[in-house]
Amino acid sequence: MKVRLMNMCYKIEVQNKNAEKLNRKLDELNFPIYMRKYFTVKIESKAGALNYLGVIVDLLNWFIEEKLIDKTNISDIEPSDFTDIMAEDITLYLKTKEQNGMSPTTLETRKHIISSFWDYMSRVKGTEIKDGFFKDVTYKGIPSGNKLTKKLPTEKQLNDMEEKIMWKKDISVRNRNIAIFRVLRGTGIRESELAGLDLSNLHLDEEMPYITILGKGVYREMQNRMVYLSGSALKAIREWLEYRSTLSNIIDTEAVFVNKNGTRTTERNIKQIFENYGNGITPHMMRHYYASIMNRNGNLAFVQQQLGHSNVNTTVNNYANGAVGMKDVLNNM
């Protein structure tokens, strides 16, 4: 219960900081109240709301530039300005982004965000957006039936990044960064989940060592999931913990990963590691890499549970059986 409460407090703190950042951006843009509620109320994750805001701001500015909305600034847009926007206009917007080099994955995400926003706007008084409007947005981007392509780092790219991290002269930073790299590579967890790891989440002496991860999302039911460790991730954590035990300035005593000043390593710190050494590799790409390895070797229940995508119908027995079958794969990964 104590561990769950501490993890929940950490995630709520992150949520509150993102909420403050979101409100600052909305204030800077002087965003109309009737649209503002979409970001502040409808979308629970404020990190997600910040991403959504960037997409919608770009779309609205494009409408203004193309004279589809006869206003100078977003702050001047009224509900009635949405009445004459056609599905073909949004299709053209997405095609324009595609021609400018936006990736298929990003475009598919952007289309989903716009669809969600348009559904909200259809319920705003004065917009007169017809039901089923978005069904007429014909942009496909990727042929029907094909899965979105996800960019994966190669083994050489990953090895090059690891080697660059090893060049770091500062032993404290080097040991921490190499552990972070190997844990992300060998578990597929999100950077937010890694940043939130506490010592009590580590179960390294089990027959199949694992970590416990709090369920994604502040407002969802708080249930932990077990994530089994690869051999390299286990070794990296143990080596880091051995070095960590020699540090005398740790402030966040429960945190697995800490900075030089003794505070918990944050998501931003983790992203910065990849920006410094990754040559284009991101923490989320590590997640896709891990998923590709697991998909080639494991069963669906195991892969879903490891990544935190498990279906409510997935049984504990299916997962446990899958884990046993993956033991050799994990040990050699």
Q: What is the pLDDT of residue 317?
A: 41
Q: What is the pLDDT of residue 332?
A: 60
What SS3 state is found at 100? coil
Q: What is the pLDDT of residue 298?
A: 56
Q: Tell me the C-alpha to C-alpha distance, in Å, between residue 40 and each of 34, 43, 135, 193.
A: 11, 7, 26, 24
Q: What is the pLDDT of residue 45?
A: 77
Q: What is the pLDDT of residue 330?
A: 63
Residue 212 bridge partners (DSSP): 226
Q: What is the pLDDT of residue 150?
A: 55
Q: What is the pLDDT of residue 219?
A: 35
Residue 186 neighbours by CB under 8 Å, 6+ apart: 229, 230, 231, 232, 233, 234, 236, 290, 330, 333
Walking along the chain (333 residues) 10 residues at a time, the average pLDDT comes out as: 48 75 89 90 80 91 92 93 91 86 78 90 88 83 48 85 89 92 91 92 90 60 73 92 92 93 92 92 87 68 66 40 55 59
What domains can you pick out in the chain, each with its CATH number? 2-136 (no CATH), 155-331 (1.10.443.10)
Q: What is the pLDDT of residue 269?
A: 94
Q: What is the pLDDT of residue 208?
A: 86
CB burial readout 113-150, b (16+ within 10 A) else e: bbebbbebbbebeebebeeebbeebebebeeeeeeeee
Place of tokens 């945190």: 255
Q: Tell me the C-alpha to C-alpha distance, in Å, between residue 161 and each of 170, 181, 182, 183, 236.
A: 17, 9, 11, 14, 15
